[in-house]
Chains A and B, each alone.
Chain A
Amino acid sequence: MILLWGSNARETHPIYFHHLLKGVRNGARLYVVDPRRTASAQWADVWMGLDIGSDIVLANAMAREIIVAGLTHEWFVEHATSGFAAYRNCVEQYTLERAERESGVPGTVIRECAHAYARAERAQICWTLGITEHHNAVDNVLALLNLGLLTGHVGRYGSGLNPLRGQNNVQGGGDMGAIPDRLPGFQHVENDELRGAFERAWGARINPRRGLNLSAMFEAMGHRELTCLYVLGENPADSEADRQQTLKRLGGLEFLVVQDLFYTNTAALADVVLPAAAGWCETEGTVTSSERRVQRVRRAVPPPPGVRDDMEIIYELARRLGHDWGEPHAESIWDEVRGLSPMHAGMSYRRLEELGGIQWPCYDESHPGEMYLHSRLWQMPLIGPRAPFTAVEFSPPVDQLDQDYPIRLTTGRRLDCYNTNVQSGGYASPLRRGETLDLSPEDGERYGVLDGENVRIASRRGSVVAPVRFDPSLRPGLAFMTVHFHDQVATNNLTIDAVDPKSGTSEFKATAIRIEKFSEN
């Protein structure tokens, strides 16, 4: 069984979805949880169209049903987890009736899904931004992890809890320490022993306290605590929630450096722009995919004149700052990673080439890598810490609906565009139709607007103008826009920067809007 939750992988992870369809062809049942009946949902045996932000209600009600029906994997819970009693007490409040009321999904269907998940021989939950672009993103994720622990669908072949990554190397970025509190190999920066190893290797002192995540950085910019910003391969001017505020903050910086392949809207605001080479064909190195597979990347063509590899830019920057690291060399940098990050230790370039990539952890050169994680939870006796249940409570979206803003807008992506379209806007697509406000035909009638008519869309933060497109996959009260066409329609003028304090992610998925008639004059 595959439970795709808050993910329209058919459009946003098309290659992955082909793999998923192989599973479906081989007999896997597919359940999709998504407020919209997306292209992915249309493949599902069961689609559950919950209210936006009610994921925890749904997950907790599933858990309660699993417990009540006696479908808990008791041996696993006893053997490998902690905190079950508190969790059980928490989910006890989430009856099917309550879940139906608060999520909109019929209780009978929630029950069926719970039973199918618990009884499946192998079951996976896969999710993406529908879970994480919320003010309580981490709680949402925990609610899903709890389900895996409750049923033992973790640490076993074919079962698992899988966040689908948005880019070929999101995983690799995190692995290499591009997170505020971690050094390469997820080693905590505030752990003296772990940090010490890096300090000794580098002969330098590392700030012993964690840094700021993206949202916190923007807040700090707002407070003028952060005055200098170096942006690598990001386009926050278009991608951050509450765009007007973002632009103000970027504009208020004392110094902005942007390093990118393209002259983005953020680059247009920069004091210095450093043109960067294209990672996939103009550089040497590695990337790491969603399944933790480290793969080699090879330079096929030299970058255009005046453009440099990220690695060269950083080395040159270091030299100008008084630290001459010599000539950059991808394999020696990788070997340095292997020396400092135990989970990468066994991945020599030679082995990566021979094996066509290796999935971490890979502790030494005889280790084949791990196809799936957490198998230790099934070992007798248990090795390492127990996996904790974390009871989480429902918390509705911050931007609430009311008479003035009665429609729930959610944002997302389409098959032929990628995020702010920096990478994908350069080529033509027969599917691309520009930004639209997707509405159910019923809402079109209700608000007296026609398919194709330009309307003004207003939230508590701002407004934009876009044409209406009737989309029968939406129910009344639910609207959809993408984030692809900021030059025409700055969708993030509408979104709220209500941020999950743990992950730093904004609640892009839940905005309250209204539609106003628009006249060109």
Chain B
Amino acid sequence: MDLHLSDARPTAEEKAAVDVELGPPESGWQGGARQIEEEGRVAFGGREARSRRHLLLPVLHAVQARAGWISPGALNYVCLRLDVAPAEAHGVASFYGMFALAEQPPVVAHVCDDIGCMVRGAEAMCTELQTKLGPAGAECKDGGAVWHRSPCLGLCERAPAVLITGAGANPRECVLAPATPGAVQASISESVAGHWPSEPDVFNAQLSAPQAGGANLRVLRRIGEASGVSTLDDYLRLGGYQALRRSLDLGPEGVVREVLESKLVGRGGAAFPVGKKWDAVRQQSNRTGARYVVCNADESEPGTFKDRIVMEGDPYAVLEGMTIAALAVGAEHGYVYVRGEYPFATRRLRQAIESARARGLLGDNILDSGLRFDIEVRRGAGAYICGEETALFNSIEGYRGEPRNKPPFPTQAGLFDRPTVVNNVETIVNIPEIILAGGAAYACIGTENSTGTRLFCLSGHVVRPGVYEAAFGITLGEMIDQAGGPGGNGRLQAVLLGGAAGAFVSPSELNMPLTFEGARAIGATLGSGVIMLFDDSVDLRQILLRIAAFFRDESCGQCVPCRVGTMRQEEALHRLSSRQPLESVAEEIRTLREMGQAMRDASICGLGQTASSAIESALQRWSLFA
């Protein structure tokens, strides 16, 4: 297209970073060296150039990782290479939290100050970091680095958490969890000096999944291996890919039948029957053209970390589950969209995909069956909203991660407007279990309407935080007991169930069964499996403010009820907690409820629809502002 670019030019490093992703430019017209004698007569591009739009996010990642920020010159070059209008590219780059559009030092420490870390000392750490390093957002006293406050990093079982990223020719990441101010300062100095650990993190099954190695585990049963299932041979030794072999015998119809019989529902929060979803995509199989399997690994709900632990500890199970899904619906291409704050999970998945490819478990002829399927990892870049499935599609396609209107549903027109199966990680890793056990047998686990097992993320004031697997039907109290009971000062004040988009329950409700119907009965939700405990030393008002700030920050702004509602909600909470209500406390609470209703009724996606649910549930249970 006719690009109207500013005069800013990319540096050689930025150019090289882009070219690694896209290959060298085909002509001077596309940003290569001008060779007018050869190229002054003909140019190609058009549709072909624009068809690579979906590489926009990977390219922006490459620039950010190389230069530490996305300069106007680099953005111009990206526009030329992908034939994207500069306003569009800027719109995408500025949408994602992990991309910097202003120059900043190469080393960046992302310090989680979200609710899970808040109750484990994040605020005190931030205060001390300010003394040691200087204010957040400014270059650290010793130079070469900057620290920012960050929303939940998904490391809640080891809170408080810090993620350090380093840009350069060899971009690096390093996780500190649990972190101390001293360790953060030391780690930053090391990073600035170019010293990084060889891996971003260390997988410790005992720490992250305390049940590891125990009996009666299904989804977590392999995770007890020393450092997780780190090689394909480990996975095969532990029964891996048996389910795919069985699926090949069953054929697509048989696989869908088993999944339907299992009554498996999605574990991402919406609890939609997986078999129905697959069947709908399979029904579209007669139509020509591509279909896709997408694994939603953009786990960003505050307090949620189960998918990360599965990907780090058992990455091949994700691949096997996706391959079975592909077989069932006739897809040849799959994507795993991993949140940008998960460098270690990303690395484990990429290694797993390479090994699987090398052994014929992905590619053109899987297990010599003629099945053709491959998987690509795409990294998010710091946007909670991209966990919404249609926002995720837009993000993969190279657009701002703004949710689409539905219908059409993903089964009809999903990724690249093609029929698409999209399931989250936990859902996907249940698939091999279902195929091996048989759908009917799987349906006997749990309760009538909540079949199978569920992963729960215990964090906050609990004795042994971590991811736990339990059959549906266990009560909230039993689950907490499995994790050693309430921690902190031992006097439980509240439990946040389902994450920031979930609901608070009080200690009097601990006998509720952890099932979809049990949660619904008390006006709560299991959501993404978050069980976050708060002892009575916690000021819940501060927790609510943090949740409100989170939604205000993460609202994509596309639809009005959410964009305005999340802002007004936060403002009202600030007035209440500073004891300056407009008119009266009762009036403010009425306003909050009304705002919540408007967001539930009129937002186009789940973010706005649930942005008030935790806050309203707390106001309902406690008189926090009396």
Which A residues contact B (CB, under 8 angstroms)? 10, 24, 29-30, 37-50, 104-106, 109, 440-442, 472, 475-476
Instruction: State the CA gap A37–B2 with chains docked (Å).
Output: 10
Which one, B2, B42, B47, contacts A42 given CB within 8 A? B2
User: With A10-B2, A29-B47, A43-B2 in contact, is A476–B42 under 8 Å at CB?
Assistant: no
A49, B46: Cβ atoms closer than 8 Å? no
CB distance from A328 to the nearest CB of B (A): 45
CB-defined interface of B1-44 with A at 8 Å, one 1/0 digit per residue? 11100000000000000000000000001000010110011111
Which one, B36, B41, B46, contacts A45 given CB within 8 A? B46
A48, B47: Cβ atoms closer than 8 Å? no
CB distance from A129 to the nearest CB of B (A): 19
Residue of A nearest to B29 (CB): A37
Residue of A nearest to B2 (CB): A39
- Give 19 CB contacts A-B under 8 Å: A29-B47, A42-B1, A42-B2, A42-B3, A43-B1, A43-B2, A44-B43, A45-B45, A45-B47, A46-B46, A47-B43, A48-B41, A48-B42, A49-B40, A105-B42, A441-B34, A472-B34, A475-B41, A476-B37
Residues in chain A near residue B583, CB distance under 8 A:
none
Residues in chain A near residue B46, CB distance under 8 A:
24, 29-30, 43-46
Residues in chain B near residue A41, CB distance under 8 A:
43
Residues in chain B near residue A441, CB distance under 8 A:
34
Residues in chain B near residue A43, CB distance under 8 A:
1-2, 46
Given contacts A24-B46, A42-B1, A476-B36, 4 further A-B contacts (CB under 8 A): A37-B29, A45-B44, A45-B48, A472-B34
Residues in chain A near residue B45, CB distance under 8 A:
42, 44-45
CB distance from A54 to the nearest CB of B (A): 11
- The 5 lowest CB-CB distance pairs between A and B, nearest first, are A475-B40, A39-B2, A45-B46, A47-B43, A49-B41
Residues in chain A near residue B1, CB distance under 8 A:
42-43
Instruction: State the CA gap A38–B43 with chains docked (Å).
Output: 11
How many chain B residues touch A (Cβ–Cβ < 8 Å)?
Answer: 16
Residue of B nearest to A27 (CB): B47
Which one, A24, A38, A40, A46, contacts B44 given CB within 8 A? A46
Instruction: State the CA gap A476–B1 with chains docked (Å).
Output: 23
Instruction: State the CA gap A440–B40 with chains docked (Å).
Output: 10
Instruction: State the CA gap A30–B43 with chains docked (Å).
Output: 12
A442, B2: Cβ atoms closer than 8 Å? no
Residues in chain B near residue A42, CB distance under 8 A:
1-3, 29, 43, 45
Residues in chain B near residue A109, CB distance under 8 A:
42
Residues in chain A near residue B44, CB distance under 8 A:
45-47
Residue of A nearest to B38 (CB): A106
CB distance from A230 to the nearest CB of B (A): 41
Which B residues contact A (CB, under 8 angstroms)? 1-3, 29, 34, 36-37, 40-48
A475, B2: Cβ atoms closer than 8 Å? no
**How many residue-residue contacts, CB under 8 A, span A and B?**
60
Instruction: State the CA gap A105–B1 with chains docked (Å).
Output: 21
CB distance from B416 to the nearest CB of A (A): 14
Residues in chain A near residue B36, CB distance under 8 A:
440, 442, 475-476
Instruction: State the CA gap A475–B41 with chains docked (Å).
Output: 8
Residue of A nearest to B28 (CB): A472
Instruction: State the CA gap A41–B1 with chains docked (Å).
Output: 8
Instruction: State the CA gap A29–B44 with chains docked (Å).
Output: 12
CB distance from B371 to the nearest CB of A (A): 30
B36, B42, B45, B48: most-surrounded residue (chain A CB, <10 A): B42
B41, A105: Cβ atoms closer than 8 Å? yes
Instruction: State the CA gap A405–B43 with chains docked (Å).
Output: 28
Instruction: State the CA gap A45–B40 with chains docked (Å).
Output: 15
CB distance from B285 to the nearest CB of A (A): 23
Residue of B nearest to A106 (CB): B42
Residue of B nearest to A49 (CB): B41
CB distance from B71 to the nearest CB of A (A): 21
Residues in chain A near residue B2, CB distance under 8 A:
10, 38-40, 42-43
B34, B36, B40: most-surrounded residue (chain A CB, <10 A): B40
Residues in chain A near residue B34, CB distance under 8 A:
441, 472
Instruction: State the CA gap A104–B41 with chains docked (Å).
Output: 7
B3, A476: Cβ atoms closer than 8 Å? no
B42, A49: Cβ atoms closer than 8 Å? yes
CB distance from A99 to the nearest CB of B (A): 12
A47, B3: Cβ atoms closer than 8 Å? no
Residues in chain B near residue A10, CB distance under 8 A:
2
Instruction: State the CA gap A46–B49 with chains docked (Å).
Output: 11
Instruction: State the CA gap A50–B46 with chains docked (Å).
Output: 19
Residues in chain B near residue A49, CB distance under 8 A:
40-43
Residues in chain A near residue B43, CB distance under 8 A:
37, 41-42, 44, 46-47, 49
CB distance from B122 to the nearest CB of A (A): 48
CB distance from B496 to the nearest CB of A (A): 46
Instruction: State the CA gap A47–B47 with chains docked (Å).
Output: 12
B44, B46, B48: most-surrounded residue (chain A CB, <10 A): B46
Residues in chain B near residue A440, CB distance under 8 A:
36, 40
CB distance from B5 to the nearest CB of A (A): 11
Residues in chain A near residue B48, CB distance under 8 A:
45
CB distance from B227 to the nearest CB of A (A): 49
Residues in chain A near residue B42, CB distance under 8 A:
46-49, 105-106, 109
Residues in chain B near residue A476, CB distance under 8 A:
36-37, 40
Instruction: State the CA gap A41–B47 with chains docked (Å).
Output: 12
Instruction: State the CA gap A40–B44 with chains docked (Å).
Output: 13
Instruction: State the CA gap A48–B41 with chains docked (Å).
Output: 6
CB distance from B335 to the nearest CB of A (A): 24
Residue of B nearest to A43 (CB): B1
B1, B2, B29, B44: most-surrounded residue (chain A CB, <10 A): B2
Instruction: State the CA gap A441–B35 with chains docked (Å).
Output: 12
Residues in chain B near residue A104, CB distance under 8 A:
41
Residue of A nearest to B41 (CB): A49
CB distance from A450 to the nearest CB of B (A): 16
Residues in chain B near residue A105, CB distance under 8 A:
41-42
Instruction: State the CA gap A10–B40 with chains docked (Å).
Output: 20
Instruction: State the CA gap A286–B34 with chains docked (Å).
Output: 50
Residue of A nearest to B40 (CB): A475
Residues in chain A near residue B40, CB distance under 8 A:
49, 440, 475-476
A30, A40, A42, A472: most-surrounded residue (chain B CB, <10 A): A42
Residues in chain B near residue A50, CB distance under 8 A:
41
User: With A42-B1, A42-B2, A43-B2 in contact, is A106–B41 under 8 Å at CB?
Assistant: yes
Residues in chain B near residue A45, CB distance under 8 A:
44-48
A24, B41: Cβ atoms closer than 8 Å? no
Residue of A nearest to B43 (CB): A47
Instruction: State the CA gap A38–B44 with chains docked (Å).
Output: 13
CB distance from A53 to the nearest CB of B (A): 15
Residues in chain A near residue B37, CB distance under 8 A:
476
CB distance from B24 to the nearest CB of A (A): 19
CB distance from B28 to the nearest CB of A (A): 8
Instruction: State the CA gap A269–B124 with chains docked (Å).
Output: 84
Instruction: State the CA gap A79–B515 with chains docked (Å).
Output: 75
Residue of B nearest to A103 (CB): B41
Residues in chain A near residue B41, CB distance under 8 A:
48-50, 104-106, 475
Instruction: State the CA gap A44–B45 with chains docked (Å).
Output: 7
Residue of B nearest to A45 (CB): B46
Instruction: State the CA gap A104–B29 with chains docked (Å).
Output: 18
Instruction: State the CA gap A442–B40 with chains docked (Å).
Output: 12
Residue of A nearest to B3 (CB): A42
Instruction: State the CA gap A38–B3 with chains docked (Å).
Output: 11
CB distance from B98 to the nearest CB of A (A): 31
Residue of B nearest to A30 (CB): B46
Instruction: State the CA gap A40–B1 with chains docked (Å).
Output: 7
Instruction: State the CA gap A38–B1 with chains docked (Å).
Output: 10
CB distance from A323 to the nearest CB of B (A): 53
Residues in chain B near residue A40, CB distance under 8 A:
2
Instruction: State the CA gap A48–B36 with chains docked (Å).
Output: 14
Instruction: State the CA gap A465–B142 with chains docked (Å).
Output: 58
